[in-house]
């Protein structure tokens, strides 16, 4: 780009919004030339730019969890809930389906808003979905991360947040996924099958259980001496690396969904 040239963010936003696409924001151009050219994807309703395109809110992440929340902790550490951190994103909301779990304690220690939303308190799945949609819109959430969330998400919520919900699964999808494949049941099935590698998968969530577009995977060896516990612990270490990496890539606009495939841009 030539020295002093300036791309009006509003022009870009207007073009892409008219196409119904995610808005790309070019941040950091100065009058003396482009010092930093960061391309980040944010939903159009969040663009919130001033005339010079200088203001860029951080990518806002919500995490849904049902248990201890060690993956949540990785995200809290990497993406603190502040506008002035060096991170590309911030975790600003934690939602659980039940009270008294480790994930809530972790949110509280990090000073992050948390909400307990038990699906059983709603008359219909749709009402549950509407509640989630309201909660995430209220916080202007860009991305919802399922980190050990064990409840079924209602279709209206999945549709409203298409390509903006990701899940981490402790096996190499599309194998060892689907209904009933959670917790140690996954690792027991892996061990019983005799496969020599397992791992973890981060994928977009769509209406097909554990079948949404795969974003990234990491592998681990499987040994004949493994128990489900040993294998789970080996995989969890990889999950802790993978999940923040994927959130970072999405926050930086490097992830594109093309049909059922995901393209990662450098």
Residues that bind ligand GRF (CB under 6 A): 65, 67-72, 147-148, 168-170, 200, 236, 239
Other Cβ atoms within 10 Å of 24 Cβ, number: 15
Distance CA 95, CA 103 (A): 9
Shortest distance in whole angstroms from residue 10 CB to ligand GRF:
40
Q: Are 155 and 178 a contacting pair, CB within 8 Å?
A: no
Shortest Å distance, C-beta 153 to ligand GRF: 13
Helix (H, G, I), strand (E, B), or coil: what is residue 127? helix
State the minimum distance, in angstroms, from the CB of residue 186 to ligand GRF. Answer: 8
C-alpha 58/C-alpha 87 separation (Å) is 8
Closest contact distance (angstroms) between CB of 25 and ligand GRF is: 31
Fill in the DSSP letter of residue 49.
-
Going by C-alpha positions, the residue among 86, 3, 21, 10 that lies closest to residue 47 is 10
State the nearest-atom distance from the C-beta of 132 to ligand GRF, in Å: 18
- 25 versus 250: smaller Cβ distance to ligand GRF: 250
Give the chain's radius of gyration (CA, Å): 20
Q: Which is nearer to ligand GRF, 52 or 237 (CB)?
A: 237
Q: Which residue is nearest to ligand GRF (CB)?
A: 148
Q: 26 or 149: whose CB is closer to ligand GRF?
A: 149
Rank residues 40 and 240 by Cβ distance to ligand GRF and give the closer one: 240
Residues labelled as active-site residues:
169
Q: For ligand GRF, give the closer residue by CB, 100 or 259.
A: 100
Are the C-beta atoms of 96 and 66 separated by less than 8 Å?
yes
In angstroms, how far is the first alpha carbon of the chain from the final one?
Answer: 19
For the chain, the farthest-separated pair of C-alpha atoms sits apart, in whole angstroms, at 63
């Amino acid at each position: 780009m030539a020295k002093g040239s300036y791309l009006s963010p509003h022009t870009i936003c207007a073009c892409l919004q008219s196409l119904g696409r995610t808005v790309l924001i070019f941040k950091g151009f100065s009058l003396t030339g482009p010092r930093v050219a960061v391309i980040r994807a944010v939903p159009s309703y969040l663009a919130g730019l001033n005339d010079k395109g200088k203001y860029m809110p951080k990518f806002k992440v919500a995490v849904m969890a049902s248990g201890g929340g060690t993956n949540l902790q990785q995200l809290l550490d990497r993406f603190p809930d502040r506008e002035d951190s060096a991170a590309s994103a911030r975790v600003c909301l934690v939602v659980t389906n039940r009270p008294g779990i480790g994930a809530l304690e972790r949110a509280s220690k990090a000073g992050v808003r948390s909400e307990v939303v038990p699906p059983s308190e709603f008359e219909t799945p749709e009402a549950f979905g509407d509640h989630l949609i309201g909660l995430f819109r209220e916080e202007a959430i860009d991305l919802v991360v399922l980190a050990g969330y064990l409840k079924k998400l209602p279709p209206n919520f999945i549709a409203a947040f298409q390509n903006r919900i990701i899940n981490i699964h402790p096996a190499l999808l599309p194998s060892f996924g689907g209904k009933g494949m959670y917790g140690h049941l996954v690792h027991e099935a892996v061990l019983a099958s005799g496969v020599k590698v397992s791992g973890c998968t981060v994928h977009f969530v769509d209406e097909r259980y554990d079948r949404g577009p795969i974003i990234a995977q990491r592998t681990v060896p499987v040994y004949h001496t493994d128990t489900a516990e040993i294998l789970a612990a080996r995989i969890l270490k990889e999950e802790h690396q993978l999940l923040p990496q994927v959130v970072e890539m999405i926050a930086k606009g490097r992830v594109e969904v093309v049909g059922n495939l995901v393209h990662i841009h450098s």
